[in-house]
Amino acid sequence: MNRSTPRGPIIMRLVRAELIKARAVRATWILAAVAPVFCALWVLVPLFAPASSDAARMAGVYNMAQQAYLFSLILGILGMAGEYRHQTITWAFLVTPRRGAVVTAKLVAYGLLGLLVGVLSALVTLAAGGVLLALRGHPALSSEVPLILLGGVLSTAIYGLLGVALAVLVRSQVGAITLAALLFAYGDGFLAWLVPDVYRWLPTGAARSLGAMRLEGGALLPAWGGGLLFVGYVAVIVLLARVLTLRRDVT
């Protein structure tokens, strides 16, 4: 490879290649289709749960757009860990010896896919939540709704990056998905139950605050604070993944 080739165009070509590969995988379409439906079903939980006010109920309903995070996370894991599973990562590094560029392209591509999943899920959540709230006689819209949905979209996109980084660290699809479930679903939930006040500082709590989620047992961080904290968590994991990619054997 010509060392004088600009880095920008290389990354762009790699990102396009990653998106083409993702489009050819059936799991991408399945996860992208199921995520909005999953969010719409989750709308029923805050819709029928007791709430301190109509505003709290509305926020809870539209915050369910964030439930798409699981699918974005899995997409990122499958996209990266699949390369190790099928040993296609060897060819990727042979074609593009700059390993950091390959990982960056993966991060950008699955961040974009996570963004797409987040937008679709937010739109479906808005439609389903608005209709169901109106049918039950609750206010369906407020000035907070766009920010709540935007937070859900952003957190879903960031989880796509996190999935790629976790797959670099673990390499195994099953192992990375299991680790993700333990850390960002069951683990955070258990710690939140054990020590409620610590939840706001955990990755999941920080991500939830992006969508202005309201908890009865304790307040979350402000959206901007939680967002920065969540980005910080993901940035550390991404940096570690890049360092290991450069120093570790491919196989």
User: What is the spatial distance between Cα 226 and Cα 232, in angstroms, rounded to a whole number?
Assistant: 10
pLDDT at 4: 47
Residue with structure tokens 């379409």? Answer: 29
In a domain, 156, yes or no: yes
pLDDT at 14: 85
* Structural domain range at position 242: 7-247
Q: How many domains does the chain have?
A: 1
Within 8 A by CB and 6+ apart from 215, the residues are 199
Q: Say if CB 121 and CB 36 are below 8 A apart.
A: yes
Q: List the one residue out of 62, 87, 70, 83 whose CA is nearest residue 32.
A: 70
In a domain, 205, yes or no: yes
pTM: 0.86
Q: Which two tokens stand for residue 28?
A: 């991408």
DSSP state of 65: G
In a domain, 225, yes or no: yes
DSSP state of 184: I
In a domain, 2, yes or no: no
Q: Which amino acid is at 47?
A: L
In a domain, 1, yes or no: no
In a domain, 14, yes or no: yes
Per residue in 178-230, pLDDT (tens digit) is 888 888 877 777 777 777 778 888 888 888 888 766 554 557 788 888 889 99
Q: Which two tokens stand for residue 209?
A: 């605050």
Per residue in 89-117, pLDDT (tens digit) is 666 665 665 777 788 889 999 999 999 99
Distances (CA, A) of 165 to 76, 137, 146: 8, 44, 29
In a domain, 139, yes or no: yes
In a domain, 142, yes or no: yes
